[in-house]
Structure 1
Amino acid sequence: MPVDAPLHRRFARRSHHGLRHNRAMTDVNTAFSAEARPELTGGKRIGVLLSHGFTGSPASMRPWGEHLAAQGYGVAVPLLPGHGTTWQDLNRHVWQQWVDHLDPVLEEMHATHDAVVLGGLSMGGALVLRLAADHADYVAGVMLVNPAVATKRLDVRLLPVLKHLVPSFPAIANDIKKEGVDEHGYTRTPLKAIHSLIQAWRPLLADLPSVTAPIIYFRSADDHVVDEASQPLIEAGVSSTDVTVVPLPDSYHVATLDNDAQTIFDRSAEFVARVTAG
């Protein structure tokens, strides 16, 4: 089943947990889906759209998605264009394609659920902030895990030239403190694609005042991918008056797979329940 098929066509079978999963559940690079179970959520159909990060895959979000699905929430974790193939393929894709891939998933969730909450890791955090700004009228809440909307690294200023000279840099994937865990991301960082991401930051920051939904912000104490530049810009930029920051003291960047993952799972489930209660 193509990952861009309508949501209702992506629920292939019911597992022993009572969740409906994507056919290729065993393939770490495929999308993950689970149907809402309103009998667990007070009769309401609640949807959660989760986005993985740059050079990553749905594998980084699947445990989070499974936890939320077990609470009765309908969950979608799409595979972003250029991911799950090769880093060279990703180098042929740009920011707007990732936004355009998530947007119809959100639109369909809005049409088939009573409320929708967004969540994202790293670049996925930037993507769901973009969606929350563009669809502020119906996004009920935003969950961010080490989101990237800025950096203090000076070498990014050289990307407009470097991307024409070298195709990639060393990998940024698998920044995980917990041993034996794999994000299943790329072994290289494609420069044309990451330059597209960085170019999208300025217009996103300019539109952050349109983000009015409640936010829960999970931030690792030791992150080797996203530095401290993003958090103050997001907190100061959004118009939301309901922003909760949750520190993650024992995790690196891919915190959804790290030692503090259970904190993310538990606090986000509480957050979704709260922001969709009305």
Structure 2
Amino acid sequence: MIQQTDFFFEGGRSGVLLIHGLTGTPMEMRLLGKGLNRAGFTVHGMQLAGHCGNVEDLLATGWRDWYASVEKAADEMLEKVDHLFVGGLSMGALLALKLAADRPQQVAGVGVYGATFRYDGWSIPWAARLSFMLPLLKKLGIGRNFSFMEQPPYGIRDERLRAQVSTAMLSGDSAAAGLPGNPWYSLAEMYHLAAEVRSQLRQVTAPCLVAHASEDDVASLKNAELVMREVSAPAELLLLEDSYHMITIDRERRTLIDRSAAFFDDIAASNGTQRIAA
């Protein structure tokens, strides 16, 4: 059964929509959300379709369902704020970029956190690095019941936090820490999304804060470099030296909060007027 774990923090007329990653949960965005709310932003940490339940719940959805839930959350947010910012972690960063590409008049700025077009970080086993082939296997009907299980360090450099998250994840509490593995078919959907977003990067005209761990264990810096190179918008790169993939909860989360708040504040101040035209 899917549990509802999204959160909403009311603040000012600038709002941030936060999007978690594949097999993840809004909990991985909550500390960032609280920090942005303390800085004056209205924040909604949304829950992607099919997430925070079991594997079958996730397999019943694909990337178009995930993106549809992002669009719905954005529409609801636009009723409450004058400036809409969107930030996503891992696959959530791809969904944030797609929203910015599709809605250039509505999205004022993007937080691109640990963008993952390919799983090519240093902790990814070589077999899993071939996961870009999964769309073909799915098309052939092969591997529906297979998953790539999460491996230490689980995207977290802080050892105490890592132990807490891995215990919750491996205990089956998907609402708190996400699923312990990535189903092959869901990964195939993510690669379809990645191809779609990569083809749209030139359409991203909203300024981007591209934050990435310099030693990301899940997605190498090549993913961030792709965004920096391809988007049409001004893009600022924030490299985090003491974190792994889950930069929204790891050791430098306060740096990420402060830089994100300042980045979004500057955009809102320079825009002045509402940027929510249809």
The whole-number CA distance in structure 2 between the counterparts of 1:142 and 1:158 is: 29
Q: What is the 5 A alignment of 1:154-169? A: 154-158=130-134, 160-161=136-137, 164-165=142-143, 166-169=145-148
Q: Does the residue aligned with 2:218 lie in a helix, a strand or coil? A: coil
1:274 matches 2:242: no
CA contact (8 A) 2:131 2:187 kept: no
8 Å contact 1:151–1:230 — kept in the other structure? no
1:249 aligned partner: 241
CA distance in 2, matches of 1:172, 1:33: 31
TM-score (norm 2): 0.82
Q: Which amino acid aligns with 1:176?
A: I
Structure 1 residue 170 corresponds to structure 2 residue 149: yes
Query: 1 or 2 for the larger relative contact order (CA 8 Å, sep ≥6)?
Result: 2
Of 12, 15, 19 in structure 2, the residue corresponding to residue 51 of structure 1 is 19
Alignment partners' CA distance in 2, 1:232 and 1:61? 23
Write out aligned runs for 1:1-278 (5 A).
Answer: 30-37=5-12, 45-151=13-119, 153-158=129-134, 160-161=136-137, 164-165=142-143, 166-171=145-150, 174-181=154-161, 182=165, 184-240=177-233, 242-277=234-269, 278=271
> Partners of 1:159 and 1:227 in 2: how far apart?
21
Q: In the TM superposition, what is the alpha-carbon distance from 1:158 to its structure 2 partner?
A: 4.6
Aligned to 2:169: none
The alignment partner of 2:179 has SS state of: coil
Shift of 1:144: 1.1
2:21 maps to a residue whose letter is G
Displacement, 1:203? 2.0
Shift of 1:110: 2.0
TM-score using structure 1 length: 0.82
Residue identity opposite 1:213 in structure 2: A
Q: Point out the structure with the larger helix share.
A: 2
Deviations 1:130-186 (A, max 9, x none): 100010112111011111124553342255327723421112693101122227121
CA offset at residue 266 of structure 1? 0.7
Aligned equivalents of 1:216, 1:72: Cα separation in 2: 19
Contact between 1:146 and 1:253, CA under 8 Å: does it hold in 2?
yes
> CA distance change for structure 1 residues 72 and 239 in 2, over 3 Å: closer, same or farther?
same
Q: CA deviation at 1:188?
A: 1.5
One-letter identity of the residue aligned with 2:5? T
1:276 is paired with a residue whose SS is helix
Cα deviation, 1:53-77, whole Å, max 9, x if unaligned, reads 1111111100000111112211001
RMSD: 2.0
Divergent runs of 4+, >6 A:
none
Paired residues in the alignment total: 244
| 2:90 partner letter | S
Tell me, in whole angstroms, the C-alpha distance in 2 between the residues paired with 1:249 and 1:133. 29
- CA distance in structure 1 between the aligned counterparts of 2:73 and 2:51, rounded to whole angstroms: 17
Whole-Å separation in 2 of the counterparts to 1:130 and 1:158: 22
Using the alignment, how far apart are the partners of 2:96 and 2:57 within structure 1? 23
Instruction: State how far apart, in whole Å, the 1-side matches of 2:62 and 2:101 are.
Output: 19
SS in 1 for 2:142: helix
The structural deviation recorded for 1:202 is: 1.6
